[in-house]
Amino acid sequence: MAYQNFIPTVWSEAINRELERKLVFAEDCNRQYEGEVKKMGDTVRILGVGKPSITTTVDKEIVLKDPENVEDTSVTMAIRHISYFNFKVDDIDRRQAVGGVMDAYTSESAQGVANEMDKHIGSMALDKLAKLHAASAVAVTKSNILGEVDRALELLYQNDVNADEDIVMGVPPFFYITMRQAYTDLDTNNSAMLKNGLVGKYGHVRVKMSNNCAVTSNGEYRIMVRTKRAVAFANPMTHVEAYRPEKSFSDAVKGFSLYEAKIVRPKELVVLNVKRSA
């Protein structure tokens, strides 16, 4: 703010903040590896085991062959994403803002960083390991939307995901509205269900609404239907500090956060490949 243009004014005690975007994806990720990574560039190797072959015989003696060498699988997750901020508030501004402008900016910055994390997790739907439920995008309507969800669930069940497993799907607003029109039992009146974007249940599937669902360049949506084990997420370091810039009369705050997401159980994730109906 230019001091020569500043006219003392009574500032409102209420500061208008931008609408906060619901953060829904991180809550349903596997975060058990978070403690194993400490700084940007650290990598955690997640080991997976294969299945030994089973031999069945009828009315015959067991004849053991040489022991099988069961191949294992492993996934590496390197912590490479960093989001940061750096802002200042002039002393004269801070004195006039009785509503706490510095706290408001700090809160907005933290919300912005968290939103970047959520978008990154949502982008896992575009990963090469994410299996699409249909080769081409399906235009969803209230007459076919539940069938498409069932189609994705069938693919999960074929991969040995239990039918009573805790399954979650994060959907964009248009998909949720269409789904609710098709499924009248989708409940939005229970306040306990509204936490972190949760807007309803379809069978054993928790439906969460998010504006951070992945969208392709041609406007097709990628909606993850998954267990909580399918995607790993780590946020090993977040740092925030206040300081006084040398060449101005102001207070400043800077901060950063390190994070990474990775599909670690691809068989427990299916991606709905959909688009808006014309």
Domain count, the chain: 1
Gap between the terminal Cα atoms of the chain: 48
pLDDT of 190 over the 60 cut: no
The tokens 């009146």 sit on which residue? 189
| Mean pLDDT score of the chain | 85
**HEC secondary structure over the chain:** CCHHHCCCCCCCCCCCCCCCCCCCCHHHCECCCHHHCCCCCCEEEEEECCCCCCCCCCCCCCCCCCCCCCCCEEEEEECCEEEEEEEEEEHHHHHHCCCCHHHHHHHHHHHHHHHHHHHHHHHHHHCCCCEECCCCCEEECCCCHHHHHHHHHHHHHHCCCCCCCCEEEEECHHHHHHHHHHCCCCCCCCHHHHHHHEEEEECCEEEEECCCCEECCCCCEEEEEEECCCEEEEEEEEEEEEECCCCCCEEEEEEEEEEEEEECCHHHEEEEEEEECC
Q: Evaluate whether residue 16 is within a structural domain.
A: no
| Residues 237/166/52/261 CA torsion (nearest 10 deg) | -20
Q: Evaluate whether residue 278 is within a structural domain.
A: yes
| Residue 65: band (very low, low, confident or very high) from pLDDT cuts 50, 70, 90 | confident
Q: For residue 129, what pLDDT is reported? A: 95
Q: Evaluate whether residue 257 is within a structural domain.
A: yes
Q: Residue 173: count other Cβ atoms within 10 Å of its Cβ.
A: 12
The pLDDT of 167-182, averaged and rounded, is 93
Q: For residue 5, what pLDDT is reported? A: 45
Q: Which of 276, 254, 266, 275 is nearest to 82 (CA)?
A: 254
pLDDT tens digits, 231-248? 999 988 888 898 999 988
Q: Evaluate whether residue 11 is within a structural domain.
A: no
**Domain limits at 55?**
22-278
CATH number at residue 111: 3.30.2400.10
pLDDT of 1 over the 50 cut: no
Q: Evaluate whether residue 13 is within a structural domain.
A: no
Q: Evaluate whether residue 12 is within a structural domain.
A: no
Percent of the chain residues past pLDDT 90, beyond the cut: 48
CA 254 to chain centre: 24
